[in-house]
């Protein structure tokens, strides 16, 4: 009687249903529920390039270790990096480094509280991807021009 | 839980404050000139023999710059990987294992690289 007066009889099942929904709702970060956008893709790409650069560090340490070891070992590593697979890896790493660095400049700007309105964000992420591709190609032109 | 005392100390549920963010930014700033120097160093030694690389690293400026570059990069790398592991590796055991491996990897690569530089620099 009391429950019906106050609408509990109707609300209780609803509340139970809602609490079930609450426990089942997605928790952050469920990236797949958001519509893919350039800015979010670039945020993910910033992380992926950063993670991938561990291969660049490993390659660099391998190269330095070889230089500190022996002529034969260094020749082997130099040979690997001048082959097509080595060059492809270096190209990927140089792009990842430049892209991650430009993304870092974007984050420095955001750290100062600037560049947050949507137009600026869109402009910044476009500048990041275009800039990284252009600078990487420029770097490789310089590398081929200097050393062949 | 964030108590008033923790709020004052800047400590929340993670038991540490802004050190992660701060060191990520500090190493990021250091990485800019240091990795630009690395790009120069690598391009200057394309196809070079071992003698040329060793001779370059014998220059103290070069040895110090490359060593600091590796330390700053590996520190930054450790923080970045740690953040992604904390976000995406679920289950305490797996997360803990990945966090420990991440530290070992960052220190291992850094130690190996700096040792190689010092060995060339001191000329053995």
**Chain B contact present for A14, CB below 8 A:** no
**pLDDT score recorded for residue A21:** 56
- DSSP code of residue A33: G
Residue from A126, A130, A144 nearest A38 by CA: A126
* Tens-digit pLDDT profile for residues A50-101: 999 999 999 999 999 999 999 999 999 999 999 999 999 999 999 999 999 9
Determine the Cα–Cα distance for residues A129 and A102; give it in Å rounded to an integer: 9
Which of the residues A31, A45, A56, A61 would you substitute to probe the B interface, choosing the one with the greatest number of B C-beta atoms within 10 Å?
A: A61
Listing DSSP states for A85-107 in one string gives: HHHHHHHHHHHHHHHHHHHHHHH
**pLDDT score recorded for residue A13:** 60
**Chain B contact present for A64, CB below 8 A:** yes
Determine the Cα–Cα distance for residues B97 and B105; give it in Å rounded to an integer: 12
Q: Domain limits of chain A?
A: 39-147
Percentage of residues of chain B with pLDDT beyond 70: 88
Chain centre distance of CA A21: 32
Full set of structural domains in chain B with CATH = 23-122 (1.20.1300)
* Tens-digit pLDDT profile for residues A118-142: 888 999 999 999 999 999 999 999 9
This prediction has a pTM of 0.83
Determine the Cα–Cα distance for residues A72 and A121; give it in Å rounded to an integer: 50
- Flag if A61 and B113 touch (Cβ within 8 Å): yes
CATH topology of domain A39-147: 3 helical TM bundles of succinate and fumarate reductases (1.20.1300)
Do A132 and A138 meet the contact criterion of CB atoms below 8 Å apart? Answer: no
Q: Where is average pLDDT lowest: A1-15, A50-64, B4-18, B95-109?
A: A1-15
Give the residue carrying structure tokens 């991440």.
B102
Give the pair of three-digit tokens for residue B70.
């590796």
């Amino acid at each position: 009687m009391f429950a019906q007066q106050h609408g509990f009889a109707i609300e209780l099942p609803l509340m139970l249903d809602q609490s079930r929904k609450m426990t089942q709702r997605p928790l952050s970060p469920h990236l797949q529920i958001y519509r893919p956008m350039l800015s979010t893709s670039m945020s993910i790409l910033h992380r992926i390039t950063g993670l991938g650069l561990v291969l660049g560090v490993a390659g660099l340490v391998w190269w330095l270790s070889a230089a500190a070891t022996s002529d034969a070992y260094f020749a082997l590593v130099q040979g690997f990096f001048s082959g097509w697979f080595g060059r492809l890896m270096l190209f990927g790493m140089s792009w990842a480094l430049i892209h991650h660095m430009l993304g870092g400049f974007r984050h420095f700007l955001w750290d100062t509280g600037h560049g947050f309105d949507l137009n600026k964000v869109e402009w910044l992420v476009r500048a990041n991807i275009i800039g990284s591709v252009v600078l990487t190609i420029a770097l490789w032109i310089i590398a081929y021009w200097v050393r062949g | 839980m964030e108590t008033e005392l923790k709020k004052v100390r800047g400590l929340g549920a993670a038991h540490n404050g802004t050190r992660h963010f701060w060191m990520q930014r500090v190493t990021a700033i250091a990485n800019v000139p240091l990795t630009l120097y690395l790009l120069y160093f690598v391009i200057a030694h394309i196809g070079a023999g071992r003698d040329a690389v060793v001779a370059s690293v014998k220059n103290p400026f070069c040895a110090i710059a490359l060593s600091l570059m590796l330390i700053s990069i590996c520190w930054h790398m450790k923080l970045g990987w740690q953040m992604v592991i904390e976000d995406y590796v679920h289950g305490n055991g797996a997360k803990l294992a990945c966090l420990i491996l991440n530290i070992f990897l960052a220190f291992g690569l850094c130690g190996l690289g700096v040792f190689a530089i010092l060995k060339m620099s001191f000329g053995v």
